[in-house]
Amino acid sequence: MSYFFQLVVSGIVVGSIYALSALGFVLIYKSSRVLNIAHGQFIASGAFITYALTVWANIPIYISFPASMLATFFLAMSVERVFLRRLIGEPIISVIMVTIGLMSILDGLIYLTPFGAENFSFPPFLPTTPIGFAGVSISWTQLVGVVTTFSLIACFTWFFKKSTVGISMRAVSDDQLAAMSIGISVPRVFGLAWAMAGLSAAAAGGVIGNITGLNFDTLHAFGIVVFPVVILGGLDSILGAVVAGIIMGLIQQFASGYLDGHWGLSGTGEVMPYIVLLVILLFKPHGLFGIHEIERV
């Protein structure tokens, strides 16, 4: 039984990271209908900037973490300004391909730095003995990661519910023309959505980097794993991203905990989210919380 609870705990840890990664993804989709395939690269660059500031520049992590979030905030904003702003109104395939191109470019830029080839790990700044409770253990980094994730998600929720900027962003995602007519600058909202996504990507990168270590392949794989999560939750729902993130984390942990090693299976954790995704798409084509669009000729 404690094995089961151990899986639940690690599922929630993984799931909350998924939720945080998916959040940035949903932010961009919600406001500008762009599917950002380069999200994993933003996560990776956030993690690398945090590492560079903490270890190479010797800045304490509680300052370098927000600083890297600020850096990716501006990085994502300038990416939107330079590449995506021209493509407003172009067909979806062009926009998707531009983000694929961006992914390649960011990959290339990261390969230029030492992070492309080598593995790094953060110096431990928390107690290394895990917390044990009734046979279930969770390490301090994981605990702090989960707490950080949920407090960030709470901040984002507050931002969208209460602040003027957040409300104007929701207005744009609801109806661009109506938002324009009451004086909201739609391009600026697009830029801001990208910037916020960059910010949450850096946060996710920092948390992942602390838990699993810095390896470029693992980090940018998060940009792909996030797809099943956002589809399960519905592409345009923040609540959906959180719920689906946790569900996917649990599914993945249970799959690799109970299926691997039986019937000659291995690595099921990698593939299970996609199988679940396909099944869900057949029954609920717009995910759990996605808005069903009404189309007219």
Partner 1 sequence: MSANRWLATGNYFTSYREEQRIFFTSLDRTAMALFILGLFLWPFFIDVGNKYMLVIDNILIAVIAVMGLNLVTGFAGLISIGHAAFVGVGAYTIASFARVFGENHFLLSHAWPVMILAAGAMGAFFGAIVGLPALRLKHLYLAIATLSFQMIFEWTMKFMDFFNQGQTIAVGRVFWLTGEVSRSAHYIFWYYAILVLIVLVGFAVRNLLRTRYGRCLIAVRDNDRAADAMGMHPGLTKVYAFALAGFLAGVAGALHAYLYRGVGVESFTLHHSINYLAMAIVGGLGTLPGSFMGPLAIKMLDMQVEQLSEWASSHLAFAANLATALKPLSFGLVIVLFLMFEPRGIANWWRIARSYVKLWPFRY
Given the rule CB under 8 A, which residues bind partner 1? 35, 83, 86-87, 90, 92-94, 96-98, 100-109, 111-114, 116-117, 224, 227-228, 231, 235, 264-267, 270-271, 274-275, 277-278, 281-282, 285-286, 295-297
The least CB distance from residue 156 to partner 1, in Å, is 22
> Of 1 and 117, which CB lies nearer to partner 1 in the complex structure?
117
The least CB distance from residue 12 to partner 1, in Å, is 24
Return all residues near 220 (Cβ < 8 A) that are at least 6 apart: 40, 41, 43, 44, 107
Sign of CA dihedral 162, 39, 212, 45: negative
CB 53 within 8 A of CB 67: yes
The rounded radius of gyration (Å) of the Cα atoms in the chain is 19
> Of 170 and 286, which CB lies nearer to partner 1 in the complex structure?
286
The least CB distance from residue 267 to partner 1, in Å, is 6
Return all residues near 257 (Cβ < 8 A) that are at least 6 apart: 3, 7
Q: How far apart are CA 271 and CA 276, in angstroms?
A: 9
The least CB distance from residue 248 to partner 1, in Å, is 13
> Of 85 and 161, which CB lies nearer to partner 1 in the complex structure?
85
The least CB distance from residue 30 to partner 1, in Å, is 13
> Of 152 and 230, which CB lies nearer to partner 1 in the complex structure?
230
Looking at the chain, which runs of residues are DSSP E strands? 131-133, 136-138
> Of 184 and 281, which CB lies nearer to partner 1 in the complex structure?
281
CA quadruple 2, 270, 93, 178: dihedral, nearest 10: 0
